[in-house]
Amino acid sequence: MSNLRIQSTHDLERLRRQLQSQAHQIQTKVYICMTGCRALGALAVAEALREKLAQFGMEKTVQVVETGCIGICAQAPVMVIEPQGFLYGGVKPEDLDEIIPQTLQQGKPIDRLCVKHDGAAVPVLKDIPFYQKQKKLVLENCGRLDPRKIEDAIEKGAYVAAVNGLHHRKPEDIIEQVIAAGLRGRGGAGFSTGVKWDLCRKAPGNEKYVICNADEGDPGAFMDRALLEGDPHRVVEGMIIAAFAIGAHHGFVYVRAEYPIAVDHVNIAIGQAREYGLLGENIAGSGFAFDIVVRMGAGAFVCGEETALIASLEGKRGMPNPRPPYPAQKGYRGKPTNINNVETFANVPLIMQMGAPEYSTIGTEKSKGTKIFALAGKVNNTGLVEVPMGTTLGEIVFEIGGGIPGAKPFKAAQMGGPSGGCIPAQFLEHPIDYDTVEKMGAIMGSGGLIVMDEETCMVDVARYFIDFCQAESCGKCTPCREGTKKLLEILQTICDGKGTEDDLQTLQVLGTYIKRTSLCGLGQTAPNPVLSTLKNFRVEYEEHIRNHKCRAGVCRELLHYQIIDTCTGCGVCKRKCPVDAITGEKKQLHVIDQHLCIKCGLCFDVCKFDAIIR
Amino acid sequence: METVKELNVDKESLKRLLGSYQRITTGDLIPLLQQIQQVYGYLPPPILFELSKQTRIPISRIYGVATFYEQFYLRPHGRHTIKCCRGTACHVNGGPEISRTIQQLLRVKPGGTTEDMAYTFETVACLGTCFLAPVMMVDQDYYGHLNPDKISQILKSYR
């Protein structure tokens, strides 16, 4: 095992060239995404492909790579075939009987598996509109390598920046470079990363810590999951550089337990990095020591808050502490600690390789670089996208996202998770960066971007987020513990059709006080979805209160599914009902039992005779 | 009636677990609880008392941590765990209907276990699989693009 160890920049360079020439020996590669696509059978596709290639005697000429997120998740399971760069979606094991002869042997695309645009097949990935406006820098290797093989990462240039830095650069210079690049924290708050590192470096003491916050608790966000599962070495490398800059020798990756595959891949990556001498004592012969331990969260959103995360690492209940002192001065075990988000660390090797001047040409004046967004909700091309800061919301939703299903009008985009706000249509042409998003009444947040259409009730959205924050509130401070409970009660009352005019005033005032007086970020931002929907969608609140109406058809108390006399007794609704709430004889008027009805709306959707009203 | 302390639970597995640590500090508490849960399927209270005795971490502290985090269960779990996602993307794409369907079909509330101990049903804040909303997991298997129709069939396959 010791002959694997890299002891110098030359060792790494030599190894990289060796791996590159090996990689060129096989021309045909099939990349199959194993992140989200796993949920739609990607593993079975990979297994079947290996079997069939062996049957054809092609196992030595075609390489099957189980890879990370390719981004166009709406087409899952996704497969990319090189050297042509063909992208196939919705791939099933049966499709392989066509893929192997037609594409792998003859190099021809199969139109029915390609992404369509305006009715025509677009076989090559880089021609697909979804990818055109993206700039995949941080996600460059995601989907292009096997994340469980460090050799794949090294072949693509992993650890070059770290090893060069450790051997040839001073920590202070690295920090200056990160400041000059303008990198801001990608976890949501957007604080200057370089300045944070500097504060930690200057804090007195020899025992310092670097922590990667991989708690990714925002519902609707999966950027960090994709990075950890798809390109873990990039994150590890970022942590090594940070540790060197700060003078820390111990690191943690705190991953939420709901991401078992990410935990697995990070553990594998760290183990392999150690084998190669890229973690541990004397990294790559530089004399610098740094190692990382992986710790799992235990299901508490509040542990994404840095002081609560630290408490969790110390074996305590995840309750935040007042700041100052900031973790940079007094963090884990009272020692100077630097905590950064996964995507923040993933940007670091990029900045080292490109240099600050080039990196800072990307983005806007105050928000440099790219941002990864998890595009979800009512949008055609749900998936993972990486765009330069300054891209407009409209470009993301329509040109990349392909617009709303059914060409329905855009209602709002929720950004920033439970801490964020809902951005209405009038801001579609505004560029997205940390400062402009704040002016729109939201926050950049970690990157979750949920698109909403006319079937989304904005009051329900506010209620949903407050419900979440209430459940996740640690309970330590009164404004959050009691305040979110009260906000939730009021919102539930409004959704139940029992709200009053005074309630709107109460929500506004109470929300503002909770923001101002809560101990930590959770409480300080919990009212944001309420306040932003009150501001931008007040009409819907008023309709719930004054007219007992939910225009989106969501609030159940304001809905009542009934079958009327245009019913022909065809029985389709009865068969579709998932809880058998509909009874009726053939060709007779059917009836919905209101006690059993869960108001899912399936009957309403399937009735061809408009016989169901709500 | 037996007190919680006296319930008959195998302590050997705990002893083996603790044996693998050279020194146990309070910082190890959460990983320890995670490992205990992996071995026993939940956190049996007699085991927690034993853990307190062996590590000298006060039982009140252990109880405080075990009840703070959603992942820890103090009661036995069903053979299969259904995790229904209540994340934002799932929420706007019919997630609540999925949850209600499961509740109706299995006659169990979130956090509860069916009488025959076949299923424990939980809702989770987010599974990070948002583009396939609505999503649920049964044990380690993911199911996406759900609608209430599909639930019955999926659950049957685990019986």
Per-residue pLDDT tens over the stretch A323-333? 999 999 999 99
Query: What's the 3-state SS for B101-139?
Result: HHHHHHCCCCCCECCCCCEEEEEECCCCCHHHCCCEEEC
Cα(B66)–Cα(A298) distance, integer angstroms: 9
| Domain covering A24-127, topology | Glutaredoxin (3.40.30)
Q: Are residues B84 and B64 in the same domain?
A: no
Q: Which residue of A has its CA nearest to B37?
A: A298
Check CB contact under 8 Å for A300 and B34: no
The pLDDT value recorded for residue B2 is 43
Check CB contact under 8 Å for B89 and A76: no
The pLDDT value recorded for residue B5 is 53
Q: Are residues B40 and B84 in the same domain?
A: no
Confidence band, pLDDT 50/70/90 cuts, at residue A1: very low
Cα(A204)–Cα(A214) distance, integer angstroms: 27
pLDDT at A61 over 90: yes
The pLDDT value recorded for residue A232 is 98
Model ipTM value: 0.86
Give a yes or no: residue B141 inside a domain.
Answer: yes
Query: What's the CATH class of domain A458-546?
Result: mainly alpha
Check CB contact under 8 Å for B34 and A298: yes
Q: Nearest CA to CA, how far is A400 from chain B (Å)?
A: 14
- Of A221, A312, A578, nearest to B30 by CB-CB distance is A312
- Of A76, A375, A448, nearest to B132 by CB-CB distance is A76
Residue in A259, A316, A343, A400 to test binding to B, most B beta-carbons within 10 Å: A316
Give a yes or no: residue B4 inside a domain.
Answer: no
What is the CA A196 to chain-centroid distance, rounded?
A: 24
> What single-letter amino acid sits at A424?
P
- Of B27, B88, B149, nearest to A313 by CB-CB distance is B27
Check CB contact under 8 Å for B149 and A578: yes
Q: What would the DSSP string read from start to end of A388-410?
A: ETT-BHHIIIIIIT---GGGPPP
pLDDT at A317 over 70: yes
> What single-letter amino acid sits at A77?
P
* Per-residue CA distances from A438 to A183, A227, A416, A441, A528 (Å): 18, 26, 10, 5, 11
| A573 token code pair | 């609704």
Check CB contact under 8 Å for A417 and B88: yes
Domain A560-613 grouped into CATH 3.40.50.11540: no
- The secondary element (H helix, E strand) that includes residue A536 is helix A528-536
Q: Nearest CA to CA, how far is A550 from chain B (Å)?
A: 15
Q: Count how many Cα atoms sit within 13 Å of the Cα of residue B158 in the half-sphere of its side chain.
A: 18
User: Nearest 5 degrees, angle CA A34-CA A37-CA A38?
Assistant: 60
Which residues from A are below 8 Å from B68, CB to CB? 300, 317-318, 474
User: Which residues does A37 contact at the CB level (< 8 Å), separation at least 6?
Assistant: A73, A76, A77, A78
- Of A295, A461, A472, nearest to B31 by CB-CB distance is A295
Which residues from A are below 8 Å from B28, CB to CB? 315
Check CB contact under 8 Å for A598 and B148: yes
Decide: helix, strand or coil at residue A273: helix
**Do the Cβ atoms of A244 and A288 come closer than 8 Å?**
yes
pLDDT at A112 over 60: yes
The pLDDT value recorded for residue A546 is 95
The pLDDT value recorded for residue A422 is 94
User: Nearest 5 degrees, angle CA A428-CA A362-CA A16?
Assistant: 130
* Per-residue CA distances from A177 to A161, A167, A201, A348 (Å): 13, 16, 15, 10
The Cα diameter of chain B in Å comes to: 52
Check CB contact under 8 Å for B132 and A314: no
Cα(A77)–Cα(A95) distance, integer angstroms: 12
Query: What phi and psi values does residue B93 have, to the nearest 5 degrees?
Result: -110, 30
Q: Which residue of A has its CA nearest to B150?
A: A578
What's the N-to-C CA distance of chain A in angstroms? 69
Check CB contact under 8 Å for A450 and B94: no
Q: Regarding predicted confidence, which is higher, B99 or A614?
A: B99
Check CB contact under 8 Å for A316 and B105: no
Which residues from B are below 8 Å from A40, CB to CB? 132, 144-145
The pLDDT value recorded for residue B1 is 42
Confidence band, pLDDT 50/70/90 cuts, at residue A346: very high
Q: Which residue of A has its CA nearest to B63?
A: A317
What CATH number corresponds to the domain at position B107? 3.40.30.10
Q: Are residues B150 and B101 in the same domain?
A: yes
Confidence band, pLDDT 50/70/90 cuts, at residue B103: very high
Burial class (CB in 10 A: 0-12, 13-18, 19+), A361: exposed
pLDDT at B3 over 70: no
The pLDDT value recorded for residue A473 is 96
Give a yes or no: residue B75 inside a domain.
Answer: no
Residue in A258, A419, A476, A596 to test binding to B, most B beta-carbons within 10 Å: A258
| Domain covering A157-359, topology | Rossmann fold (3.40.50)
CATH number of A370-452: 3.10.20.600
For B142, the domain range is: 80-156
The pLDDT value recorded for residue B6 is 52
pLDDT digits (tens, 9 = 90+) for A511-547: 999 999 999 999 999 999 999 999 999 999 999 999 9
Q: Are residues B48 and B104 in the same domain?
A: no
pLDDT digits (tens, 9 = 90+) for A194-220: 999 999 999 999 999 999 999 999 988
pLDDT at B4 over 60: no
Confidence band, pLDDT 50/70/90 cuts, at residue B120: very high
What's the N-to-C CA distance of chain B in angstroms? 34
The pLDDT value recorded for residue B7 is 58
Check CB contact under 8 Å for B65 and A299: no
**Do the Cβ atoms of B146 and A39 come closer than 8 Å?**
no
The pLDDT value recorded for residue B77 is 84
* Per-residue CA distances from A331 to A245, A293, A474, A507, B29 (Å): 17, 17, 19, 35, 19
Which residues from B are below 8 Å from A300, CB to CB? 68-70
Q: Nearest CA to CA, how far is B97 from chain A (Å)?
A: 5
Mean pLDDT in residue range A367-385: 96
Q: Kindly state the percentage of chain A with pLDDT values over 70.
A: 100
Bridge pairing between strands A337-341 and A209-214 = parallel
pLDDT, chain A, mean: 95
Give a yes or no: residue B7 inside a domain.
Answer: no
Q: Which residue of B has its CA nearest to A229?
A: B128
Cα(A449)–Cα(A235) distance, integer angstroms: 23
Check CB contact under 8 Å for A299 and B140: no
Cα(A148)–Cα(A401) distance, integer angstroms: 30
Check CB contact under 8 Å for A376 and B144: no
Q: Are residues B62 and B87 in the same domain?
A: no
Residue in B126, B132, B151, B153 to test binding to A, most A beta-carbons within 10 Å: B126
Q: Are residues B64 and B121 in the same domain?
A: no
Query: What phi and psi values does residue A212 have, to the nearest 5 degrees?
Result: -100, 120
Give a yes or no: residue B74 inside a domain.
Answer: no
Q: Would you kindly state where each structural domain of chain A is located, as residue ranges? A: 24-127, 157-359, 370-452, 458-546, 560-613
Return the residue matching tokens 């705190």. Answer: A254
pLDDT at B9 over 80: no
Mean pLDDT in residue range A28-34: 96
- Of A39, A218, A602, nearest to B148 by CB-CB distance is A602
Check CB contact under 8 Å for A301 and B105: no
Q: Nearest CA to CA, how far is B128 from chain A (Å)?
A: 5
Query: What phi and psi values does residue A97 have, to the nearest 5 degrees?
Result: -65, -20
Q: Are residues B121 and B92 in the same domain?
A: yes
The pLDDT value recorded for residue B92 is 82
Check CB contact under 8 Å for A452 and B92: yes
Mean pLDDT in residue range A173-186: 98
Check CB contact under 8 Å for B101 and A579: yes
**Do the Cβ atoms of A138 and A350 come closer than 8 Å?**
yes
Cα(B57)–Cα(A314) distance, integer angstroms: 13
**Do the Cβ atoms of A109 and A103 come closer than 8 Å?**
yes
Q: Nearest CA to CA, how far is A353 from chain B (Å)?
A: 30
Q: What is the pTM of this model?
A: 0.91
The pLDDT value recorded for residue A559 is 86
Check CB contact under 8 Å for B71 and A468: no
pLDDT at B130 over 80: no
Total of domains in chain B: 2
Q: Nearest CA to CA, how far is A254 from chain B (Å)?
A: 12
Q: Regarding predicted confidence, which is higher, A45 or B132?
A: A45
pLDDT digits (tens, 9 = 90+) for A412-433: 999 999 999 999 999 999 999 9
Check CB contact under 8 Å for B70 and A300: yes
The pLDDT value recorded for residue A532 is 95
pLDDT at B90 over 80: yes
Which residues from B are below 8 Å from A601, CB to CB? 97
Which residues from B are below 8 Å from A295, CB to CB? 30-31
pLDDT at A3 over 80: no
Bond preceding residue A322 cis, omega within 30 of 0: no
Sheet holding A383-388, edge to edge: A383-388, A370-377, A448-452, A412-415, A421-424
Give a yes or no: residue B111 inside a domain.
Answer: yes
Residue in A263, A463, A533, A600 to test binding to B, most B beta-carbons within 10 Å: A600
Q: Are residues B19 and B59 in the same domain?
A: yes
Cα(B94)–Cα(B73) distance, integer angstroms: 28
Check CB contact under 8 Å for B129 and A39: yes
Residue (of A251, A349, A255) closest to A291 by Cα position: A251
Q: Nearest CA to CA, how far is B71 from chain A (Å)?
A: 5
**Do the Cβ atoms of A314 and B29 come closer than 8 Å?**
no
Mean pLDDT in residue range A172-177: 98
